[in-house]
Every structure is written in structure tokens, then in C-alpha cells.
Chain A
Amino acid sequence: MKNESSLRKSLLLVTTALAAFGMFLGLPVKRALAAARDWQMAPAPTVNQPPGRIEVIQPRYVNPSAVTLLRIADMALSDGALAERIFRDPDGVAAQFRLSNSERLVLRQMNRQQFEVARADAAQVVGTRLSYARNMRLPAGATDARLITERMIVGRAILAAVGRSYLDAADAHGCCPWSKAIELGVSADPVTYNAVFARPAGANFPRSGGMGPQ
């Protein structure tokens, strides 16, 4: 359980790439994630949730943002000295930029290898998008390797600061480990929901394939 399986790696890669691609194509995040999910899993949802607002509620303790960290990552991409200081003395850089405790924790997770991997991954993402899009116009930023690299650096550092595993997520909750440590709800999709309940009286639902030994 503690070792990363190839399954996990491939799931992470596919989900991340699809979601990021969807987002940069202008899809709302929940749509992009839903698309990623549909690709991974057996399709054919027939009933879904009615429309609902998506939000995370707990803004009362702090109101942090990733803006400062993105700015620092952007500067470090073209300022080798700053990058070196981040790798060697993150607390010093945090003090210089007057970062909050959370931001400092994220900065501590940044290292040279992470920068290099993010650069390579971003280049790959841009290449894939350009070849996939062909003549289609992509939204601004969709092929901006630098922007994508920054987001990858900061996002992966946040993940590392919280902890990447399901067990880390369970620890983050501080209680109730049987509950979902990470949300896996299907995004609300009123279209499919309405389609189910608007179908003609007496009509059969379409059967999903492979009903097994029944």
C-alpha cells in the first residue's frame, strides 16, 4: 500500500492531464474532472444529481491564496539565484516575501528536481495540446509553458505539504477515518438527471453492458 503502484501513477497522469486540458480549453473545472472520470471508468451514468453549487466551506480561519507562491515560482523560473535560495533556505525566502505559515510550508516542498520535472511536464502538455488542437483556437494560456510550469510547481508543492496519500488525507481530517478522506462524488449533472425522469412512461432504462452472472 505504501509504494506507488503503476496503476496509481497512470491514473494520476491521465486524470491530471485530462482535467488540466479541459480547464485550458475553457471547460469549467467540474466538467473537466467529470470528463476525466468518464474516461477512467465504465460509462453509462443514467441518473445523476440535480444542479447544485459547488463550494468548499471553511473560510473562517484564513483566507489564503496561491497568488504569492505563483509569483515567486514565476520569478524563480528566470532567476537561478532565487531558485537556489528556495531550495536551500526556504524559510529565509518566506521571511523575505512575508509569507504566511501555510505558504512557507508549501515553499519548503519546492526543490530542484521538482522544477525540472515541472518544466519537462509542461513542455509535454503544451506539445500535446498543440498537436491535439491542430487548427482549433486555444484559449490564452493554454499553451503558455511558463504559466503551466508555475502551476505545476505550486500545485505539487501544496500536495506534498498536505500529503499525497489517502492516509495523509485521512490524517488531515483528524477524525473519522472511515469517512471519505478525499471527495469522490460525481459532479452534479442536471442534464442526465432530467433525462431520466423525463423519459416516456413505461420505457426501459438502457441496460449497462456486462450485467454479470444474473
Chain B
Amino acid sequence: MAHILAGWVVKMPAFDAKLAFATQMHRSMERATFLRSRVNGLGHATANEATVTTGLRAVLLHIDRAPSPALLLAAIYRWLYPCLIGLYETHLRETDPDGDRPSIDLIQSFLAPLERERRQGLALSSRVGRGIDKRWIGEIEDLWNGRASGRPLPLADVPWNPIDRVPAAVRPEGSRFSPSGSLGLLPVDPVHDPRDIGMFLHKELDEEYTTLELMARNSYEHPDMPWAFHRDMARQASDEARHAVMIARLMTARGFRHGDFALTTSSYDGIYEFEPCAAGSRRELLWRMLIRQTFMEGLAIDNLAYEIKRRRATGHDDIASVFEYILRDEVFHAQSGLRWSRELLGSDPQAILKEREEAVRYFTSRAEAAREAFVLNNLDQAMNELAVVEAGRECRGGKPPQRPLNRTGRAQAGYTEDEIVQVTSWGYAVDDPASAADA
């Protein structure tokens, strides 16, 4: 289930569906972890491990190949969830109430959340239309009837290779986007001006959505990565969904909604693939993690700490409180990116520095190329951007924006001293204890 949701998060047009899928992907992964542990425990002394038949795998793969978001929702929430809940209930009725007590406790803890998830999923159907292809659903039923057939597969081998590549994040029809190469939304005074605060939060909201989408695809597109990797990706996707909900709440309180400004999907589209990396390769995955989780989210650790103090000082306690929760999670996200980057690169500490240098250089070069093309083809818009940038500079009294390094957060995330020097040498953070204290 987590595998299907991970693959589809980015393809669902409705934002509600993205949030639900990211959250449920994490819950499914955690349930699977508990179940795997329990089933492995039941197999002790007989040398068995938890397995799934190729017949059941065929059912799930068929659902993953749903021809539309509407059919996918129908397959999961009208059909698969009731079947799974039914199987759990059957097990509760038929198993030994004393001998299998741990399984009973586990399943009973699953049932209420599963029912809530099913209802939540059914409610999403209205967002994507309802066209139900009975023939396709019938095919699932046929496969389900043969689910016990086929050879047994260890749980880790159940997820299948990706059925697609998705280089662009899907958004609701009619959405407006900032053009590629532009500077996107440019708040002049995101601390005091209500509209600019709304714009600032809007950008943040898009970051949460695109990051949850990218993490989900990292998991989906690399099924043979270790189980712990998929748990980490699922947790981060779920974290980003919580962040999105909190930021949307801040926006609502200020009279803004998602879509009031142009959307950006850059943090997915711009980090999905890279010419120097083969599509779907481990190096592509590595670059995604290096850029998003260890470069950008490292900067988030720095900036959020600064932003929290700035918001508290300005009286934006609600924003500060939300950012405090987000900051805690960012430490884990960077930590996870560092862990799995190192796992892919081996034990050489210089290798990660070198690879990050190459990945970030490529990424920024591509962005700068897009920027030049945009400006040369959109002189008036570029002039408009310049005027807004100048207004922002004036608003800051001509000073550059502050970028104090959060050394504590960086250390907790696991950045080495060399990695801290790397990011400060690029100019994105300033390791100045005095300015950090002032902030």
C-alpha cells in the first residue's frame, strides 16, 4: 500500500489527496513494520520470514497501474481497504485469543485508523471525479481471488520497479505557475507587510508539497533500497504533509488561500532529474538527496532558527510556533539525507563533499541558464523583478539578508565540520556567533 501511495502522490491533482497519501504512506509503512516484526516472530524456530505471494503482489501492481486518479481512489478506498479490514477481522475471529494475543492487540490498534483512512479516501473521490470502470475493477477482483497463488516473496521484495517517471508535479487544472527562470514570488517585506507575509507563506506551502512529492518518489523509484530508507522517506513525506497543514492554517488566518499567488513546483521539477545522472539511477537518487535534503534542508535548519527569533520579535507568535515544529523535523530530514547519501557513497568522508559540490554546481548552473533565458525573452518582467528586488533591498536598509549558521542544529543533524565549511564557503550561510546571537 505504501508503495502505491508513494508512486501516486505526485500524480494526484488535488492537494487534499497529496496530504492524505503522504500521511497514509507513512502509517502504512509503520503498520507494515510492526506486522513484519510480528510475523517474523511467529516464524521463529522454523526459519521462516514474513512473505507475500506473487498473486497478491499482482493485485497491488494492477492497482498501481490505475488508468486515472479517480479509478485509483476507487480501487484503494472502495475496494482494497474493505478487503484488508475484512481480512483483519477474520483473523481476529479465527486466531487463538491467548496464543496470538500480540497479533490481536496489534490488529485492534490498526482497525480504527484504517477505517478513518478509508473514509478520508472516499471523501477524496469527489475531488477527482467519479468515472468508475467496472471492467478494470473486475480485473482486480479476479486477481484478488488468485491472491494465494504464486511463489512466496520476502516482504522486502514485494515492491515492484517503478511503472513510470514523473518529471513534473501535477497540480489542479487551471493552476497558475511562476515561469521557469523567473525569480518567482518576491515578497518585499515578509515581516511587516500583510500581503508579503501571505506570499512568503505561500512559497513555504509549495515547498512542503513539492518536498513530500519528491521524497515519496525517492521511495517508490528505488524499491530495492533498505527497509529503513523507505521508513525515512515515508516519515519525511508525512512530516511535510503536517507542515503543509500548519502553514495553510497560518495563511487562512491571514485571509489567504493556496493558489492566491502563482504556484511553484521547482523543488520537485528542478530536482527530479539531472543530465549527468542516468534516469532512475542510484546517482540520481543521491543527487536529489544531496541537493534537497543536505543542501537546502541544511539551509532551512539555519534559516528557521533565525526566522523563529525574528517572528517572535515581531509578534508573529503563531508563525514562530509553527516554524519551531518544522525546525525540529528539518533536523531529522537533513540527518536522513546525510545518512543515506553516505550509505550510497561509502565511508570516504571526502566523497560526499565532492559529490555535493558537483550536484549543487550542476543544479545552480542549470538554474542560472534558465534565468538568463527568461530575462532575455521577458525584458519587461525582468525589469519588474528588478524593481521589486530593489524595493526589498531598500526595505532592509540596503543590507543583504542575514544568513546565520545554526551550528547546533547542523551538528545534531550530523554535518561534519568540513560540510559546514563547504556551505559557508559557498556564501549561503555565515558562521558568525555574534550575528547568530543578535538574531
A window 158-191: CB within 8 A of B? 158-159, 161-162, 164-167, 169-189
Chain B, 150-189, CB within 8 A of any chain A CB? 161-188
Interface of A is mostly: loop
Within 8 A of A (CB), among B364-387: 364-387
On whether the beta carbons of B172 and A50 are closer than 8 Å, the reply is yes
The reply to whether the CB of B307 lies closer than 8 angstroms to some CB of chain A is yes
Question: A15 contacts which of B278, B372, B384, B386 (Cβ < 8 Å)?
Answer: B372
Q: Nearest CB to that of A100 among chain B residues?
A: B387
B375 is contacted by which of A37, A41, A159 (Cβ under 8 Å)? A159
Complex contact B183–A19 (CB within 8 A)? no
Given known contacts A8-B368, A50-B170, A177-B428, A105 and B188 CB-to-CB distance under 8 angstroms: no
Query: Most chain-B CB neighbours within 10 Å: which of A52, A69, A151?
Result: A52
- A204 and B65 within 8 A (CB): yes
Residues of B within 8 Å of A33, CB to CB, are 179-181, 370, 373-374, 377
Q: Which residues of B contact A20 (CB under 8 A)?
A: 373, 376-377
Contact of A151 among B172, B175, B376 (CB under 8 A): B376
Q: Is A49 an interface residue (CB 8 A)?
A: yes
A101 beta carbon closer than 8 Å to chain B = yes
For the complex, count residues of A whose C-beta is within 8 A of B.
106
Interface segment, one of B79-87, B113-121, B228-236, B265-273: B265-273
* Set of chain A residues within 8 Å of B127, measured between Cβ atoms: none
Nearest to B374 among chain A residues (CB) is A33
Complex interface: chain B residues within 8 A of A48 (CB): 167-168, 170
Counting CB contacts under 8 A, is B146 at the interface?
no
Residues of B within 8 A of A140 (CB): none
A16 within 8 A of B: yes
Shortest C-beta distance, A25 to chain B (Å), equals: 12
Query: B31 near A: Cβ within 8 Å?
Result: no
For B187, the chain A residues whose CB sits under 8 A away are 173-175
**B372 in complex: contacting residue of A7, A54, A164, A208, CB < 8 Å:** A164
Given A66-B383, A197-B69, check contact A176 B203 (CB 8 Å). Answer: yes
Point out the residues of chain B lying under 8 angstroms from A16, CB to CB: 369, 372-373, 376
A175-B303, A203-B65 in contact; A61/B265 too (CB < 8 A)? no
Question: Do A5 and B365 form a contact, CB below 8 Å, given A52-B175, A213-B281?
Answer: yes
* A57, chain B: closest CB distance, angstroms: 5
When distances are taken between beta carbons in the complex, the residues of chain B under 8 Å from A100 are 387
Interface presence of B218 (CB below 8 A): no
CA distance A29 to B380 in the complex (A): 13
Q: Which residues of B contact A46 (CB under 8 A)?
A: 164-167
| Given the contacts A102-B390, A173-B183, A201-B133, A155 and B376 also touching, CB distance less than 8 Å | yes
Instruction: Give the complex CA separation of A49 and B266 in angstroms.
Output: 12
Known: A181-B183, A185-B266. A29 touches B377 (CB 8 A): yes
Report A-chain residues with C-beta under 8 Å of the C-beta of B362: 7
Contact B384 A62 (CB under 8 A): yes
Set A8, A41, A152, A204: member contacting B365, Cβ < 8 A: A8
Contacts A54-B176, A197-B67 given; does A102 touch B386 at CB 8 Å:
yes
Are A45 and B186 in contact, CB atoms less than 8 angstroms apart? no
Restricting to B256-270, which residues have a CB under 8 Å from any CB of A? Answer: 261-267, 269-270
Q: A201-B135, A204-B163 are in contact. Are A180 and B270 (CB under 8 A)?
A: yes
Q: What 7 pairs between A and B have smallest CB-CB spacing?
A: A184-B270, A212-B281, A66-B379, A210-B278, A180-B266, A186-B168, A8-B365
Known: A177-B299, A182-B370. 16 other contacts (CB 8 A): A50-B171, A64-B380, A167-B364, A167-B427, A171-B400, A174-B190, A174-B395, A180-B367, A182-B181, A182-B371, A183-B183, A184-B180, A201-B67, A210-B279, A210-B280, A210-B281
Q: Mark B residues whose CB is within 8 Å of A.
A: 10-11, 13, 62, 65, 67-69, 71, 133, 135-136, 139, 161-188, 190, 195, 199-200, 203-204, 207, 222-224, 261-267, 269-270, 273-275, 278-284, 296-300, 302-303, 307, 357, 360-362, 364-393, 395-396, 400-401, 403, 425-429
